[in-house]
A and B are shown apart, each in its own frame.
Chain A
Amino acid sequence: MNPEIISNLPALQVVIPLLGALVCALLRRGSAAWFLTMLICLIMPVISIYLLVSVLDSGPISYSMGGWAPPFGIEYKVDVFNAFILVLVSSIGAVVLPYARLSVASEIKPEDRSWFYAMFLLCLTGLLGITITGDAFNAFVFLETSSLSTYVLIAMGRDRRALLAAYQYLILGSIGATFYIIGVGIIYTLTGTLNFADLAARIPEIEQTRSILAAAAFIVVGISLKFALFPLHVWLPNAYAYAPSTVSAFLASTATKVALYLLIRFLFSIFGIEIVTDKLALTDILIILSLAAMLGASTVAIFQHDVKRLFAYSSVAQIGYITLGIALANQAGLTGSLVHIFNHAIIKGALFLAVGAVVYRIGSAEIDDFSGLGKKMPVTMGCLLIGGLGLIGVPGTAGFISKWYLAVGAIDAGYIWLVFLLVLSSLLALIYVGRIVEVVWFRDPGPNLDGVKEAPLSLLLPAAAMAAATIYFGIETSQSVGIAAQAVETLLGLAK
């Protein structure tokens, strides 16, 4: 490849989808917009995987936007941790897009389709931007880019409640973004810099001040809203339930994950492990909230009638696992978090794609309409089953690996009782997954399923790919765990 292109890859990762969004908005025809988006979504993982490989080979890459050297210009900084997230986000985009063509065609009015793809690409731009940037204010800009496009995407859902869900997310998301920018503002006045690396160097000088604590509180709460930490999750169930199927799958696998990335970046790369554990008493609050999410949201999921909403609550619970690992702040726990970011993205992707295929065929996500569906759509329901097993954490699925590391992290931190709560939460997952399995496989098909066929191939393959990945990363863990562990070593400052 042209060396000119290679040296600009970090910028291209963000610029290509941004320009693509612009072109999509100008295109009239939905199919043309889809084609362009598909093309971009196939290029993205190529770039991110290339970045990941070169980072693994030869260390972090620093890219100065527009040639302005950091800390004055905006720096794009790629290390193992965010390259890992970049690969995740771009790959999910590439898997979801083939699915989008039919699903979007069935759920969104023809005249809105090119807008849909424009918004989708903007959202992708924002998510990749947050991940790749090394600048706190630039991260805010991308956070807003992704959020604003997400509001539009959710509002495009065919249910009228989608509009309300999007509105609520808009209000809460804006509060979150405001909190974040207030926090960043405080830090900027204290240190005079916005560059992550520069901040990390200067924060120890001001760690005795009270303002830094206020800044940390604003940033943590602001970002927590974005990844729907219990009890700030209120926007999430409705947003996922009423958004178009493609959007639900894409957001559940990427948006919350990127916000979690940003939190981990702030806590461990910028504030540093010492401040986080000694000064911020983060462990205590976050453990309690994580447990409330794992147990409370799982219990809510058990009683849900709408399968998409059920999985949305399950997402809140699974995010609890991830924040639990962050709160433990040790090698195994944080590795568990990172691996679960990855694994949960795959598992929830498989689940939402499978449910989306059902919505495509029967037009409903109500659990009662699923009865006997196992006989009509065996492959789709097979994907649903595998994803469900992953949520429970059955060995041989990806879910088991991350929970194993979280459990080890909990014991490492001296909280053996946490292991029991982890297991208890898995049991709750067993109940809500078991409920679906019972309805799908052990009941006779109702009259609403007359003439229902297996989902078309373009919906089936992405779901099956995610399900296969759920199994693959449950057995072969050298990529997922290996890279996560390497990232954790850097984050905790253990790497030599």
Chain B
Amino acid sequence: MITSFPPFLIFFIGAALVTVTQGRTRSAVLLAVPVLGALNLMQLADGLQFQIQLFDYTLTLVRVDKLSFLFGLLFHIATLLGIIFALHTDDKLESTSGLIYAGSALGAVFAGDMITLFIFWEVLAVSSAFVILARRTEKSLRAAMRYLIIQVTSGVILLAGVLIWTYQTGSIEFGYIGLDGLASWLIFLAIGIKCCFPFLHNWLTDAYPEASPTGTVFLSAFTTKVAVYALARAFPGTELLVYIGATMAMFPIFFAVIENDLRRVLAYSLINQVGFMVVGIGIGTALAINGAISHAFNDVIFKGLLFMSMGAVLYRTGKINGSDLGGLYKSMPWTTTFCIVGAASISAFPLFSGFVSKSMVMSAALEEGYPIVWLALLFASAGVFHHAGIKIPFFAFFAHDSGIRTKEAPLNMLIAMGIAATLSIFTGVYPWFLYDLLPMPVDYQPYTAAHVLTQMQILLFSALAFVWLQKKGLYPPELPGINIDVEWIYRKALPAVAVWLVSLGAHFRIGSLARVQRWLERTFNQIYRHHGPHGIFARTWATGSAALWTTVMLALYLLFYFSGQMENLLVGF
């Protein structure tokens, strides 16, 4: 008989082994973990397993159904890709925390109850912060700390929500919740932070580009997808999500277009893609949910591919700003090819993976009567093509020749990118493999004339726009330190409305940020004055005044007690 284990366990054991092994042995351990994990995953029977008793509650460590299985499989693939991509490095901290990170993501998607979910939610936060600071620069350390604060806050809000929810319903099962009452809003908010809801998204674009070339590949796969999973589990069909998702799909585009750091561009486009998934979950029909889930699946692979290609560029050249790069196709032809495959997939070219999933969400939006949302998604698709489909490969590998001559990426990086590229094309050409894994039955035909034509129109017109803007010199040039000169670029590049919106937004943010900062400083000073080492609460009191306080306390108690009795007497009369 073959016994199976909770999926996260293999990863955690692997992480422990990584810390005590070196060199080739460590590489072998690293590669073995996702492979053994996947074999174990295949053995797992459906249903609730590994239940343990924690005081009054039964924790369900593993719940296998189609939804969790799909995410489980996806995370195994993502781990394998990330590990192959990072094989040339010898970074104990990054490998260990990466495995714990991936393992806790698995733990979270297989968690059958909210306490288990919360535990893995927090482990996920802490371990991913270590992945970020494993780059060991001052900037990455600071980014990791900011990131950690936000992620832990999300966990704390989740805990408060779970506590109240458990109290009200008496059940800790993690199932459908729906927006109703304080507890559900707290849980929604906690997931929303991890999912990069607008205004809660800064942690991602702040921290992901600061991780190492290999670390970012890991990061891009798990945190947001765990949140998408949680939304799909707890809040399917919540209409609010449709509008949140549409906003998420749109707003990052403006930032992505003007951003110079190409990995930050990808970080913005990550939010944009998650937006599509959130819309799908919000619509909540079988088609929409399937679309959201399959898009999550594809996104992990093609976004991973794009992050890998940019990671390879960063690894070889030490540069990642669009303004410093260009002409690399001569030195890195394979990386260029793989990057273009990733770009085609994220832009949803027919025959590439993005097409078969994104169109499901969009069709669902149209079917369920959200024409405006559909238009927004259409706009977002065009925008994605612009910044991720064209901008990334164009500025890195083509554009003006930066004169950089370097070597092709190391073999292991090429293998990882090759696998991801193959998967992206395979899913695009033969989507039924993916469709069979989806939680709801699929009778969706991606390759109809209407779908293909609409998509090609968007793509071609956006390509046209890019070419035209480039020729006219209107496209935002890639400038170092681009955000200093924000206004000038906006004015020349984007339609007046967008300029107005963005600058208004920037203005508001700068103004209110300054105000918030001043307020924070004042509050902090107040706290420090009272609670700091020399504050009234912290210094050593004179014994006399301490004794006086004791007497005051006594008087207070007596007063309270007697007044209580007076009231009782009055009531008595």
Chain A positions near chain B (C-beta within 8 angstroms)? 164, 167-168, 171-172, 175-176, 179, 210, 213-214, 216-218, 220-221, 224-225, 231-232, 234-235, 237-238, 278-281, 284-285, 296-297, 299-300, 302-305, 313, 394-396, 401, 404, 407-408, 411-412, 416, 419-420, 423, 426-427, 430, 442, 475, 477, 481
Tell me if B163 and A411 are in contact (CB < 8 A): yes
Q: Knowing A232-B550, A419-B163, A427-B156 touch, does A285 contact B557 (C-beta < 8 A)?
A: yes
What are the 8 tightest A-B residue pairs by CB atom distance, in nearest-first order? A217-B557, A213-B561, A299-B531, A234-B546, A281-B564, A411-B167, A300-B531, A395-B119
> Is B532 an interface residue when CB atoms closer than 8 A count as contact?
yes
**In the complex the two chains form, what is the Cα distance from A285 to B540 in whole Å?**
25
Task: Sample 5 A-B pairs with CB under 8 A, ordered by A number.
Answer: A235-B546, A303-B535, A423-B159, A427-B153, A442-B141
How would residues 543 to 559 of chain B score, 1 for a CB under 8 Å from any chain A CB and 0 otherwise?
10011011001101110
Interface centre among B535, B549, B550, B564 (most CB of A within 10 A): B550
Closest chain B CB from A44 CB (angstroms) = 29
Tell whether, in the assembled complex, residue B163 and residue A407 are in contact, meaning their CB atoms are under 8 Å apart.
yes
Query: Does B568 count as interface, using CB distance less than 8 angstroms?
Result: yes
With A280-B561, A300-B537, A407-B163 as contacts: A395 and B547 at CB distance below 8 Å: no
Q: Which residue of chain A has the shortest Cβ distance to B538 in the bound complex?
A: A300
With beta carbons under 8 angstroms apart, the residue of B156, B163, B560, B565 that contacts A285 is B560
What residues on B are CB-neighbors of A235 within 8 Å? 546
From residue B169, how far is it (CB to closest CB) to chain A in Å? 12
CB–CB A224/B560 < 8 A: no
Whether B55 and A175, one on each chain, are in contact in the complex, defined by CB atoms closer than 8 angstroms, is no
Query: Given A225-B550, A395-B122, A408-B163, are A171 and B55 also a contact pair (CB < 8 Å)?
Result: no
Q: B528 at the A/B interface (Cβ < 8 Å)?
A: yes
Interface size of B by Cβ–Cβ distance < 8 Å? Answer: 43
Question: Could you tell me the distance in whole angstroms from the C-beta of A473 to the nearest C-beta in chain B?
Answer: 11
Is B546 a contact of A172 with CB atoms below 8 Å?
Answer: yes
Query: Beyond A217-B554, A232-B550, is A300–B156 a contact (Cβ under 8 Å)?
Result: no
Instruction: Give every chain B residue within 8 A of A216 (Cβ-Cβ).
Output: 561
A167 lies within 8 A of B543 (CB): yes
**B115 at interface, CB cutoff 8 A:** yes
Contact indicator per residue, chain B 520-544, by CB within 8 Å of chain A (1) or not (0): 0000000110011101011011010
A423 to B156, CA, bound (A): 7
Is B54 in contact with A475, judged by CB distance below 8 angstroms? yes
Chain B's nearest CB lies how many Å from the CB of A406? 10
Q: Which of A176, A210, A303 contacts B531 (CB 8 A)?
A: A303
B118 adjacent to chain A (CB < 8 Å): yes
Q: How far is the CA of A401 from the CA of B55 in the complex (A)?
A: 8
A168–B543 touching, CB < 8 Å: yes
Extra contacts, 15 of them, besides A305-B533, A477-B54 (Cβ < 8 A), are: A171-B543, A172-B543, A175-B547, A176-B550, A213-B561, A224-B553, A234-B546, A235-B546, A237-B538, A279-B565, A281-B564, A303-B535, A395-B118, A395-B119, A395-B122
Instruction: Assess the A231–B535 pair: CB atoms within 8 A.
Output: no
The minimal Cβ–Cβ distance linking B54 to chain A, given in whole angstroms, is 7
Chain A CB within 8 A of B164 CB: yes
Chain A's closest residue to B152 (CB) is A430
- Closest B residue to A280 by beta carbon equals B561
Q: How far is the CB of A213 from chain B (nearest CB, A)?
A: 4
Given known contacts A175-B550, A210-B565, A395-B119, A304 and B558 CB-to-CB distance under 8 angstroms: no
